[in-house]
Amino acid sequence: MASKSIKTLLVAVFSIFLLLFSANSFASDAPVGGAEKHEASSFDPAKLIMEHIMDAHEFHFATIGEKHISIPLPVILYSPERGLTMFNYSKFNHGHDVYQGYKSAEGHIIAVNEVGEHDTTITVYDMSLTRNVIQMFIALILLCLLMIGVANKYKRNGAKVAPSGFQNAVEPVITFVRDEVGKPNLGHAYEKFMPYLLTVFFFILINNLMGLIPGSANVTGNIAFTIVLGVISFFVILFSTNRHFWAHIFNPPVPGFVKPILVPVEFLGIFTKPFALIVRLFANMVAGHIVITCFVMLIFIFGAMSKVAGWGFAPVSMAFTIFIYFIEILVAFIQAFIFTNLTAVFIGQSMEGAHHDEAHH
């Protein structure tokens, strides 16, 4: 019932958003004053939403008038024609200026000629430290510091001393992953895969939670990030297979006339499993950020129609935003668990024949 209610709420929100956006578009066609028309057309919800969920070369927190509150990041470019170039993203003045023959256009850095136009004859390889990269490194450092601290505490105190501090918060999670993910899906081989499963769980969880901080990057909502995680899980699954697994793929226990149909399906299933991991994490994290951003944008959409409507709808919009924000905190834990659990399920399926043999003996 709760799931159906949330889905109904999301459908209603997007319906209201589309209706209001359409009304705003029709209203902009009406003959109005120059200043009012410019004010209504200057707000682009779709562009702002995409800027929020996409990668960027700076951490942008707010814009007050003409002043941007942001942290610019290093830009590292290589061009076979121009060589290696490094500078700070602030040199572009938020995309308004050209620096050393380069320009920022809609989040992408392109080469320009003397008159400032895009030079298609110049090849540019962008190796910059974007906000997704920086935040991923921060999450990795946090993961190492926290887990090494917990491990050192176990070394000093041993298992006989009751856990305390952060160790007390992490131990139930580790026990939960071991008892509810590792043992049921991997059997006696769970200890072999626990380091990987715990690393994946906490790394995704930390990135999910950091992505909810205003002004931060939505790392797990980046398809490149989830692809890397999915590919790593794909190789872990492949290296865990045995002859029973491949025999089931290429010689399934079905009638002979069905095998030509089932073998390609089973073989394709090897690749659809990591694909499911990739798309599930990416889609859920992107959707949550879009919903939160849409609720905030409703204030400005109403404000573009009428200032009274904008101020009047602001409390309602913020209430829904806070509600979805807390839902997203829950989703951050759920998606980390689902990715880890499905990875364990797929690894367990690759060793299924061996498990059956052990049980038989």
Domain carrying residue 321:
131-360
Mark whether 163 and 300 lie in a shared domain: yes
Beta bridge partners of 109: 104
Between 280 and 309, the higher pLDDT residue = 280
pTM equals 0.80
Kindly tell me if the per-residue pLDDT of 322 is higher than 60: yes
251 in the same domain as 306:
yes
Considering the domain architecture, whether residues 217 and 83 belong to the same structural domain is answered as: no
pLDDT tens digits, residue range 212-247?
Answer: 888 888 899 889 999 999 999 999 999 988 888 888
Query: How many domains, the chain?
Result: 2
What value does the mean pLDDT take over residues 35-42?
42
157: enclosing H helix or E strand = helix 131-157
Residue type, 81: E
- In 94-203, the DSSP E strands lie at 102-105, 108-111, 125-126
Find the Cα–Cα–Cα–Cα dihedral 306, 312, 314, 318, rounded to 10°. Answer: -150
Q: What are phi and psi of 344, to 5 degrees?
A: -65, -40
CA atoms in the 13 A half-sphere facing the CB of 161: 10
Mark whether 119 and 153 lie in a shared domain.
no
Query: Cα–Cα distance between 348 and 268 in angstroms, integer?
Result: 18
Joined together, the tokens standing for residue 187 give: 């059997």
Q: C-alpha angle 51/230/166, rounded to 5°?
A: 80
Instruction: Tell whether 204 and 331 lie within a shared domain.
Output: yes
| Burial (0-12, 13-18, 19+ Cβ within 10 Å), 29 | exposed
**Could you tell me if 156 and 255 lie in one domain?**
yes
For residue range 114-171, list pLDDT tens digits in order: 888 888 888 999 898 899 999 999 999 999 998 888 888 888 877 677 777 777 888 8
Please give the residue that has the higher pLDDT: either 158 or 301: 301
